[in-house]
Structures are given as C-alpha cells and as structure tokens.
C-alpha cells in the first residue's frame, strides 16, 4: 500500500470500445470513467492516471480528458497531455510525465 502506482493510456482519442461492448459511445465512456473513478477511490493519491492523446489539435480527446478528470475528482492524480504526430512531440509528452 506504499507503492506508487501508474496507469498510462496512449491513444489517438478515437474510442472504439463501444463497438466491442456493443453499446453506445456515451455508455462506453461512462463505463471507462466509472472504472477509473473506482480505481482512484481505491488507491487515492498513490495512483497516477496519465492520458496522452496523439493526433491533431482538432481531434476529439474528450473521453481521455473525462477519465483524467475522474481520477483527479476521486483523489488520484489525473492528467491529460496532448501531443502532435511528430517524434519530437511524442518524446516531449512522455518525458514530461
């Protein structure tokens, strides 16, 4: 219970979980947010939840942002980092974590 825990997501921000779960995108996002919130409630401040969205500035990263916020709201450390599709940006985003 004294170990630092880290959960790292790296995604293009286009959720496809709803297809696998055979549900709506909104329901799939709710399930992901609830799962993150549950983990954050359980582990609190020893848990870091980091979301890195890879893409273009106009891409929709709302699901990743919602999960990072849910982690923070539940007592963990949640963050979202955007990076463009360049090696330099990816390196910078990951090293800043």
CA separation, residue 87 to residues 13, 26, 84, 91 (Å): 18, 32, 9, 6
> What's the rounded Cα separation, in Å, for the pair 61 and 52?
9
The DSSP symbol for 24 reads: -
- Entry pTM: 0.84
C-alpha radius of gyration, the chain, whole number: 14
Is pLDDT of 1 > 70? Answer: no
Q: What is the mean pLDDT of the chain?
A: 87
Angle (deg, nearest 10), helices 62-73 and 25-43: 30
Give percent of the chain with pLDDT exceeding 70.
Answer: 90
Predicted pLDDT at 90:
72
pLDDT tens, residue by residue, 17-63: 788 888 898 998 999 999 999 999 999 999 999 998 888 888 889 99
């Amino acid at each position: 219970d004294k170990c630092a825990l880290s959960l790292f997501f790296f995604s293009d921000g286009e959720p496809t979980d709803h297809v696998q779960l055979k549900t709506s995108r909104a329901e799939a996002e709710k399930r992901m947010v609830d799962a993150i919130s549950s983990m954050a409630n359980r582990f609190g401040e020893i848990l870091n939840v980091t979301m890195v969205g890879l893409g273009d500035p106009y891409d929709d990263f709302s699901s990743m942002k919602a999960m990072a916020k849910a982690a923070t709201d539940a007592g963990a450390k949640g963050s979202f980092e955007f990076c463009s599709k360049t090696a330099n940006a990816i390196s910078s985003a990951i090293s800043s974590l």
